[in-house]
Amino acid sequence: VLGYYNLFPQKELVYDDDQEGLSDQIIFKFSHVVAENTPKGRAADKFAELVNEKSNGHIKIVVFPNGSLFSDIDDINALKEGQVHIIATSTSKLGVLSPVWGVLDLPFAFPNHEAIHKGIHGPIGEHLLNSLQKNGIIGLAHWSNGFKQITSNKGPIVTPQDLKGQKIRIMKSDVIQAQYDLLGAKAQQESFNSTYNLIEAGHVDGEENTISNIHSKKFYNVQKHLTISNHGYLGYVVMMDQKVWDQQTKNTQQILLEAMDETTAWNDRHSILMNEEQLELIKRNSSIQIHELSDFEKQEWIKELYPVYDILSTTIGSKLVEDIKELRA
């Protein structure tokens, strides 16, 4: 069943315990690119579990982690073509749909986790989800993975000048690109699951990511330095194609929405904890050198990167950029 490409989620005859006979089961394929032991991986599994429970097994979510079904280069097209039914793409990569998404990539936009919460679950997040309508996509939720850190083999990275000339793998995002350009680094936009090999082969010196991605993909084994910078946000939007959504019964939609709300609340709590726990594991299990930016050092980074706000304000939308600045106030 899973090998077929079809526009609408499949219905299958399955044995139904409630009705003691065969009945329809509807199957949604959910694709993401990270490992299972991450905030997104666990949330996707949790969502599948809740949907299964709430529908008494009638709705099945089959989760494909690690980019095993689609990579972050082709997942949006696959969603639009009905080859996959649910994806949870990093907001940074949604710039291909609209430049508004760049607002969440602005450097040091969020001073802490509370500000992230306000940003993604408040009017800014809502506005961004609504922007997907014109792409024929329904945005079901924002799932946070917290803050990105920087790893490199040419370090330690303490000041913004330390990145000069370094080759850094980044996600496909104009706003992230602009930050590395400003610092004189050579950013390379590459897929997530090529990152380990790029570092190992020496094609890039470093990358930026959350601790859970650095831990689960073992980047710490091929990187000498890790800077706890908390300089940027990494999070996801869980999306479905509007046509596929509209084709579902009210009952199915209701189950998916309820399960999504519960999963999002779960993700908000656990993503912070998972990143904290996995930092401890990295410290325990590797010899990577860790530097945590002091408040003083951070001020220097904020000052150096601030021009990005002006450079990209018109592209992103000046109202959105003003709104996000208020989260720092």
**47 contacts ligand LMR (rule: CB under 6 A):** no
Smallest CA-to-CA distance from 230 within 325, 145, 304, 329 is with: 145
Q: Which is nearer to ligand LMR, 60 or 217 (CB)?
A: 217
Cα 65-67-70 angle, rounded to 5 deg: 120
**171 contacts ligand LMR (rule: CB under 6 A):** yes
Minimal distance, residue 294 CB to ligand LMR, in Å: 26
Scan residues 96-135 and list those touching ligand LMR (CB under 6 A): none
Scan residues 193-212 and list those touching ligand LMR (CB under 6 A): 209
Minimal distance, residue 266 CB to ligand LMR, in Å: 17
Compute the half-sphere exposure of residue 221: CA atoms within 13 Å on the CB side of its CA: 11
Contact 166, 142 (CB under 8 A): no
SS3 labels along 226-268: EEEEEEEEEEEEEEEEHHHHHCCCHHHHHHHHHHHHHHHHHHH
Overall size of the chain counted in residues: 329
Minimal distance, residue 56 CB to ligand LMR, in Å: 31
Scan residues 84-103 and list those touching ligand LMR (CB under 6 A): 90
Scan residues 264-283 and list those touching ligand LMR (CB under 6 A): none
Minimal distance, residue 191 CB to ligand LMR, in Å: 7
Query: The tokens 């020496």 sit on which residue?
Result: 202
Scan residues 219-238 and list those touching ligand LMR (CB under 6 A): 234
What whole-number distance in Å separates Cα of residue 84 and Cα of residue 259? 19
What whole-number distance in Å separates Cα of residue 277 and Cα of residue 294? 21
Minimal distance, residue 192 CB to ligand LMR, in Å: 3
| Residue in 72, 105, 162, 268 binding ligand LMR, rule: CB under 6 A | 72
Q: Which is nearer to ligand LMR, 40 or 215 (CB)?
A: 40
Q: Which stretch binds ligand LMR (CB under 6 A): 33-41, 264-272, 296-304, 319-327?
A: 33-41
Query: The tokens 């710039």 sit on which residue?
Result: 95
Instruction: Spell out the residues 6+ positions from residue 145 whose beta carbon is closer than 8 angstroms to its own.
Output: 38, 39, 40, 210, 212, 213, 234, 235, 236, 271, 275
Scan residues 282-321 and list those touching ligand LMR (CB under 6 A): none
What whole-number distance in Å separates Cα of residue 209 and Cα of residue 320? 24
Q: Which is nearer to ligand LMR, 131 or 149 (CB)?
A: 149
Q: What spatial distance separates the first Cα and last Cα of the chain, rounded to whole Å?
A: 52
CA 268, distance to chain mean position in Å, is: 13
Minimal distance, residue 125 CB to ligand LMR, in Å: 17
Q: Which stretch binds ligand LMR (CB under 6 A): 10-18, 32-40, 152-160, 305-313?
A: 32-40
Using omega within 30 degrees of 0 as the cis cutoff, is the peptide bond preceding 99 cis? no
**152 contacts ligand LMR (rule: CB under 6 A):** no
**33 contacts ligand LMR (rule: CB under 6 A):** yes
Q: Which is nearer to ligand LMR, 71 or 153 (CB)?
A: 71
Residue 175: both structure tokens together: 């706003």
Task: Classify 126 as helix, strand or coil.
Answer: helix
**144 contacts ligand LMR (rule: CB under 6 A):** no
By CB under 6 A, the count of residues binding ligand LMR is: 11
**192 contacts ligand LMR (rule: CB under 6 A):** yes
Q: Which is nearer to ligand LMR, 92 or 131 (CB)?
A: 92
Residues near ligand LMR (CB under 6 A): 33-34, 40, 72, 90, 145, 171, 192, 209, 213, 234
